[in-house]
Amino acid sequence: MDILGIETSCDETSAAVVRDGREVLSNVVYTQIPLHRPYGGVVPEIASRAHVEKIRQVAGEALGDRKIDAVAVTYGPGLAPALLVGVNAAKGIAKSLGVPLIGVNHIEAHLHSPFLFDPSDDKETLFPDPCEECPALGLVVSGGNTILVDMPKYGKYEVIGETLDDAAGEAFDKAAKLLGLGYPGGLVIDRITTAFLAENPGKELIPFPKGRPREGVSALSGLPAALCVSFSGLKTALLRYVQTHPELSLSGPDERDYGGRVVTPAAAHVIASYQEAIVGAVVDRVRTALAMRPRKAFILGGGVSLNSGIRKELTKLCAEKGVKLYMAKPKYTGDNGAMIAGLAMYRRRVEGEAAMRMDATPSLEIGDGETTAEEI
């Protein structure tokens, strides 16, 4: 079954055709990052306008002259004006082609991305059917979400931990803004950190807080503190560090290249310390989750899952625990239509007028209102 997937929940206009839930036949991603860069973050109105301008071209390119069996679309969570563009486009395409429309949850789709393969450069055998890999734990770390879930079977999600404030990607982006590294900041912080740590193995890092919330705070909403993160204290600690070290500067006589970016060793030390605090927080919560709920596999998705520290440490941890680790190929870590089209294969197909009544749902929660295909 070939499904066209459409994604417009934030700042990427994307469409893809995926066969049988995993084989990516096309995946077109138009990123709006340059449009939002001057503002240091995503501006919803600009995002929405850019989606309107690009959706036709992106969907047309992904579709080519292929025949499809259904259209899938992200209907939440995300920015309302951005989601609406994708949902309306998907309704139009489904209606004009006379095929079913399938609504997909964006966060759940990130957890499907490790199962996507590109037939031109991957061996299908390395990408198993996700249904065979459950029970599993999953972690979505992205610009908008940091959520730890238990998946007793594929398509069933129980949130067991989450961030109480900023998502991991926001923690990277806000630090990059504060330090003058530009937007978005995750990749540049990662590259500087990797180069700095390779050159200074064993160097003592600045002890930034590891984002562990206090037990019993109301923001936990009943979730165990040991499985949640809070990045606001880390952000404040970085701000305080910068304020109390006025001599700290990105440029100076000793500046040099760290992973493609020229900064001073002192700045690279702060940046590496900050990244390691985030990596430490994420990996510590995953270690606790695997101890509390031992599972067959661990599934990692979202833009921040590209982070080399997170990849390296989770690879080590899962090997130690004998848990199979599934991480998305780098090109499927950010927002993309392929993960939407892929997950749609495992989703209920609501047809006809009922599907056309589907609404963009900005605060859709993981596990909300979805049923697995096998249940219908």
Q: Which residues bind ligand KG4 (CB under 6 A)?
A: 10, 142-144, 169, 172-173, 184-187, 190, 302-304, 306-307, 334-335
When the beta carbons of 22 and 311 are compared against ligand KG4, the nearer one is 311
Task: State which H helix or E strand residue 155 sits in.
Answer: none
The answer to whether 122 and 22 are in contact (CB under 8 A) is no
Q: How far is the CB of 206 from ligand KG4 (least distance, A)?
A: 18
The answer to whether 136 and 295 are in contact (CB under 8 A) is yes
Question: Which of 360, 294, 345, 323 shows the shortest CA–CA distance to 79?
Answer: 360
When the beta carbons of 304 and 314 are compared against ligand KG4, the nearer one is 304
Q: How far is the CB of 310 from ligand KG4 (least distance, A)?
A: 7
When the beta carbons of 37 and 245 are compared against ligand KG4, the nearer one is 37
Q: Cβ of 368: how many Cβ atoms within 10 Å?
A: 14
**Angstrom distance (rounded) from CA 86 to CA 7:** 6
When the beta carbons of 108 and 190 are compared against ligand KG4, the nearer one is 190
**Angstrom distance (rounded) from CA 364 to CA 376:** 22
Query: Sign of the C-alpha dihedral, residues 151, 153, 155, 157?
Result: negative
Q: How far is the CB of 23 from ligand KG4 (least distance, A)?
A: 22
Buried b (16+ CB within 10 A) or exposed e, 247-282: ebebeeeebeebbebebbebbbbbbbbbbbbbbbbb
Q: How far is the CB of 306 from ligand KG4 (least distance, A)?
A: 4
Longest dimension (CA), the chain: 67
Q: How far is the CB of 104 from ligand KG4 (least distance, A)?
A: 15
Q: How far is the CB of 353 from ligand KG4 (least distance, A)?
A: 32
When the beta carbons of 94 and 328 are compared against ligand KG4, the nearer one is 328
When the beta carbons of 94 and 139 are compared against ligand KG4, the nearer one is 139
Length of the chain: 376
Question: Which of 119, 101, 137, 147 shows the shortest CA–CA distance to 329?
Answer: 119
When the beta carbons of 5 and 334 are compared against ligand KG4, the nearer one is 334
Buried b (16+ CB within 10 A) or exposed e, 105-128: bbbbbbbbbbbbbeeeeeeeeebe
DSSP 205: P
C-alpha triplet 134, 137, 138: angle, nearest 5°:
110
What are phi and psi for residue 137, nearest 5 degrees? -105, 155
Q: How far is the CB of 357 from ligand KG4 (least distance, A)?
A: 27
Amino acid identity for residue 356 in this structure:
M
Q: How far is the CB of 244 from ligand KG4 (least distance, A)?
A: 26
**Lookup: tokens for 183:** 């937007």
When the beta carbons of 133 and 190 are compared against ligand KG4, the nearer one is 190
Q: How far is the CB of 350 from ligand KG4 (least distance, A)?
A: 26
When the beta carbons of 10 and 102 are compared against ligand KG4, the nearer one is 10
Q: Cβ of 204: how many Cβ atoms within 10 Å?
A: 8
* HSE-up of residue 100 (Cα within 13 Å, Cβ side): 16
When the beta carbons of 144 and 161 are compared against ligand KG4, the nearer one is 144
Closest-by-Cβ residue to ligand KG4 is 303
Q: How far is the CB of 55 from ligand KG4 (least distance, A)?
A: 17
Q: Which residues contact 115 (CB under 8 A, 6 or more apart)?
A: 21, 22, 127, 128, 129, 130, 326, 342
